[in-house]
Amino acid sequence: MWSWAIQPRISPFLPSAHTLEIAPGFGRATQFLLPASAKLTLVDLAEPCIEACKKRFADHENVEYHVNDGRSLDMVADDTIDFVFSWDSLIHVEDDVIEGYLAQLGRKLRPGGTGVFHHSNMDSYRDQKTGELTIGNEHWRATSMSAAKFQRFSAAAGLRCVAQELIPWGGTDFTDCISVFRREAGRSRRHRTTQIRNDRFFEQVQQRRAAEIREVTSLYRDAA
């Protein structure tokens, strides 16, 4: 997953002087972020995950570990983060949590700092009349979150949602979104979010179609 899904998408933002990973779990992506980060801060709601990461990365002196309440980034100083990343975890949190994290990251990111979040797009499949979802939720995605909301939350936090890749996860519906956002160093002339729908995400990753992956991930290079 790292080599064929994650790394091609975040490589334009690495190496990083100070990386923040939210909800690292047991460190499956952390192990690859470490050599690309002069300093790495891990924040997770689950204490067992943080304890596991402490043991796994005990030989690395450039890592800080924090257990939070699933919402707060108070342990991170303002204007210190160059790159913030979360994969396959925030996909399960509702819109108020994403909104709260983005509001804080508007201060925690350095000017010019960038983030990549993997989050839910389920709310875009909601019947406006009944309020009910129009598709199944086999992968337990947060039902109140969407790509459009991410754009609005970013703008409210003083961030700019630069790009979004909508992807299906084990199906045909675009239940997931990967969003790139930035705290601009100065006044930005670009305001629109570049958005693509990649309906072959899993096919490309599983079959390692490098040429197709390079074409799709040019979105991220352009966002850097």
> Is 184 contained in some domain?
yes
- Give the DSSP H/E element, type plus range, for residue 113: strand 109-120
Query: Rounded CA gap, 89 and 83, in Å?
Result: 17
Q: What SS3 state is found at 144? A: coil
Q: Is position 23 within any domain?
A: no
Q: What is the DSSP letter of 122?
A: G
- Residue 2 in domain: no
Low-confidence ranges of the chain (pLDDT < 50): none
> Per the domain annotation, does 131 fall within a domain?
yes
Predicted local confidence at residue 208, as pLDDT: 86
Q: Which residues pair with 181 in a beta bridge?
A: 115, 161
Q: Is the peptide bond before 8 cis (omega within 30 degrees of 0)?
A: no
- What pLDDT, on the 0 to 100 scale, is given for residue 189? 59
* Type and span of the H or E element at 39: strand 37-44
CATH number, position 206: 3.40.50
Whether 10 is in a domain gets the answer no
* C-beta neighbour count of 200 within 10 angstroms: 15
Query: What residues contact residue 210 under an 8 Å CB cut-off, 6+ apart?
Result: none
DSSP secondary structure letters along 44-110: ES-HHHHHHHHHHTTT-TTEEEEE--SS--TTSPTT-EEEEEE-SSGGGS-HHHHHHHHHHHHHHEE
Selection from 50, 43, 33 nearest residue 108 by Cα: 43
Q: Does 198 map to a domain? A: yes
Count how many domains the chain has. 1
Residue 23 corresponds to which tokens in the numbers above?
Answer: 């909800």
SS3 (DSSP) at 181: strand
Q: State the residue range of the domain holding 167.
A: 77-223
Does 36 map to a domain? Answer: no
Task: Report the alpha-carbon distance of residue 192 to residue 206 in Å, rounded.
Answer: 32
SS3 192: coil
Residue 124 lies in a domain: yes
Which of these, 104, 96, 128, 127, lies nearest to 22 by C-alpha position? 104
pTM above 0.75, yes or no: yes
